[in-house]
């Protein structure tokens, strides 16, 4: 009979406790929902409808580059454009660092990339993804319009959103002097004094976009040096109206209810508070990755950037790849995002080949591919004069929504497809009218427009709501929908 003495028993107990806690720690760290492998059987897809071999979420330089490669590799490819069609480059002016093109407007570069994708047969869906079921394959991708797509591979290229400070007055004066888009709103600050918060390339861009309009720009940098590239710093040297204040933390934004009038700063070197009279606050303090819909589904770091496997673009779930600013917190360049989009498409292609998605299989399911269906022409109209405003808005028998937009405002243009789509959905129940601010100065004055995009909802000739920020389609639908009887 085996005799176990007391010290051996103690050692066994210690060993058991060690193994159990290590397993618990390992499980917590990796999260085993991240490490599971999917039960993939290529023959199963013939039972499905609305199939798409490659679904790309996002249409910035990462998504568009992935589209070019995936379609040229022979796979039917869908790009779901997302909240910001064209991505961040549509919010810049000149791009001077895209290899082989010396100087091009950011929006033009993205238009060209879209055209190249379309010529290669890539389909574009003007919609936003609200969820992706990664628990079973093919993955069910659900959009804000309620479309369901069975994706054999997913490339997440959802980019990032501008960061905000979360200080008093920021929310209250959003659109009343506080903004993140100089390219949209600079014309509202003619001969005014503004601050740009941040010291990176985005802040430098904001300064260059504001320069032709404003009286004085003060750049507020929290540290003792700029983070912007030397090329951008050289551009800043030519801006006569620019002053740069270092070691400044913006603590509070103050206004008179209708717009910003001053700010409170904390000089973190001299430890003293400074009050500054100001008309506008432009925030350019970096971006946060757009990965909320993948929380607890894909492995990400504590800042929300998706984690990749080795040198590939593979995420923690098989058949899901990521590219661009959702996974890159180091380089954050359009060219790098483009390269990672190419890698993601190559990884997706390899995966499809490995699971046996051959031309024969593709042929078998050719009637089962997801198709984009159009639902009639847009019902959006335009007005520019006070007379039209009186007739079309104030005397309207049904609620009216005015969308103040501008050609120089990328986010306004990005929201137009959603606005148009809702005009069809709410046809006869609500009028959808666009106002181009550059062609309607009287209306801009009459309705106190200080920012684009701005939406005003009228009911019975009275203003019932205002909203002056970017909205996703779903948000727009519930916001406008509440005023429909």
**Catalytic residue flag (residue 185):** yes
User: Does 316 interact with ligand NDP (rule: CB under 6 A)?
Assistant: no
- Catalytic option among 181, 201, 347, 403: 181
Structure tokens at 179: 């903004």
Cα-based angle 302, 37, 61 (whole degrees, multiple of 5): 55
Query: Is 181 among the residues known to form the active site?
Result: yes
Q: Which of 31, 121, 168, 223 binds ligand NDP (CB under 6 A)?
A: 223
Q: Is 222 in the site for ligand NDP (CB under 6 A)?
A: yes
- What dihedral angle (degrees, nearest 10) is formed by the CA atoms of 308, 310, 312, 315? -20
287, 314, 343, 434: residue in contact with ligand NDP (rule CB under 6 A): 287
For residue 70 the two structure tokens come to 């995936």
DSSP, collapsed to helix, strand or coil, labels residue 66 as helix
Q: Rule CB under 6 A: say whether 202 interacts with ligand NDP.
A: yes
**Binding-site string for ligand NDP from residue 54 to residue 93, where x marks contact by CB under 6 A and - marks none:** --------------------------------------x-
Give yes or no for residue 456 binding ligand NDP (CB under 6 A).
no
Cα 289 to the center of its chain, rounded Å: 8
286 binds ligand NDP (CB under 6 A): yes
Is residue 339 a contact point for ligand NDP (CB under 6 A)?
A: no
Determine the Cα–Cα distance for residues 202 and 455; give it in Å rounded to an integer: 26
Q: Which of 53, 67, 87, 199 binds ligand NDP (CB under 6 A)?
A: 199
285 lines the binding site for ligand NDP (CB under 6 A): yes
Query: Is 387 tagged catalytic?
Result: no
Which stretch, 49-57, 192-200, 402-410, 460-468, contacts ligand NDP (CB under 6 A)?
A: 192-200
Q: Which of 32, 112, 185, 469 is labelled catalytic?
A: 185
Phi-psi region of 247 (alpha: psi -120 to 50; beta: other; left: phi over 0): left
**Residue 17: both structure tokens together:** 């406790």
User: Which strands form 193-197's sheet, in the order they lie side by side?
Assistant: 178-179, 280-283, 193-197, 216-220, 242-245
Q: Which of 108, 332, 439, 459 binds ligand NDP (CB under 6 A)?
A: 332
Q: Are 280 and 265 in contact (CB under 8 A)?
A: no
Q: How far is the CB of 98 from ligand NDP (least distance, A)?
A: 10
Rounded CA Rg of the chain: 26
Neighbours of 230 (CB within 10 A): 8
Q: Which residues bind ligand NDP (CB under 6 A)?
A: 92, 97, 165, 197-203, 205, 222-223, 227, 229, 284-287, 332-333
Q: Provide the annotated active-site residues.
A: 181, 184-185
């Amino acid at each position: 009979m085996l005799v176990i003495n007391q010290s051996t028993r103690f050692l066994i107990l210690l060993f058991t406790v060690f193994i159990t806690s290590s397993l618990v720690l390992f499980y917590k760290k990796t999260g085993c929902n991240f490490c599971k492998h999917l039960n993939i059987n290529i023959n199963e897809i013939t039972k499905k409808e609305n199939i798409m071999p490659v679904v790309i979420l996002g249409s910035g330089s990462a998504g568009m580059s992935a589209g070019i490669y995936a379609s040229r590799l022979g796979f039917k490819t869908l790009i779901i454009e997302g909240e910001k069609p064209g991505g961040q480059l549509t919010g810049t002016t000149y791009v001077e660092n895209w290899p082989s093109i010396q100087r091009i407007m950011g929006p033009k570069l993205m238009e060209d990339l879209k055209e190249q994708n379309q010529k290669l047969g890539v389909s574009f869906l003007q919609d936003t993804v609200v969820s992706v079921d990664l628990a079973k394959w093919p993955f069910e991708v659900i959009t804000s319009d309620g479309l369901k797509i069975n994706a054999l591979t997913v490339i997440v290229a959802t980019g990032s959103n501008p960061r905000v400070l979360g200080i008093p007055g920021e929310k209250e004066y959003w659109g009343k002097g506080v903004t993140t888009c100089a390219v949209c709103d600079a014309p509202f600050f003619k001969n005014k004094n503004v601050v740009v918060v941040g010291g990176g390339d985005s802040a430098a861009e904001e300064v260059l976009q504001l320069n032709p309009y404003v009286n004085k720009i003060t750049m507020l940098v929290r540290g003792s040096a700029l983070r912007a590239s030397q090329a951008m710093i050289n551009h800043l040297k030519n801006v006569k109206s620019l002053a740069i204040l270092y070691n400044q933390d913006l603590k509070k934004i103050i206004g008179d209810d209708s717009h910003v009038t001053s700010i409170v700063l904390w000089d973190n070197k001299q430890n003293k508070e400074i009050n500054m009279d100001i008309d506008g606050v432009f925030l350019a303090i970096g971006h946060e990755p757009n990965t909320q819909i993948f929380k607890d589904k894909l492995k990400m770091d504590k800042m929300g950037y998706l984690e990749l496997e080795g040198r590939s673009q593979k995420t923690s779930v098989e058949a899901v790849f990521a590219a661009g600013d959702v996974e890159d917190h180091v380089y954050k360049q359009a060219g790098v995002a483009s390269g990672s989009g190419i890698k993601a498409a190559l990884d997706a292609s390899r995966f499809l080949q490995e699971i046996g998605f051959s031309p024969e299989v593709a042929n078998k399911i050719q009637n089962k591919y997801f198709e984009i269906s159009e639902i009639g022409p847009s019902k959006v109209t335009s007005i520019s004069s006070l007379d039209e405003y009186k007739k079309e808005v104030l005397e309207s028998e049904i609620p009216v929504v005015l969308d103040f937009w501008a050609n120089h405002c990328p986010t306004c243009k990005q929201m137009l497809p959603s606005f148009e789509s809702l005009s069809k959905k709410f046809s006869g129940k609500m009028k959808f009218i666009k106002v181009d601010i550059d062609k309607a100065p009287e209306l801009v004055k009459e309705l106190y427009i200080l920012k684009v995009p701005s939406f005003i909802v009228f009911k019975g000739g009275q203003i019932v709501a205002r909203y002056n920020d970017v909205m996703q389609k779903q948000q727009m639908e519930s916001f406008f929908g509440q005023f429909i009887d």
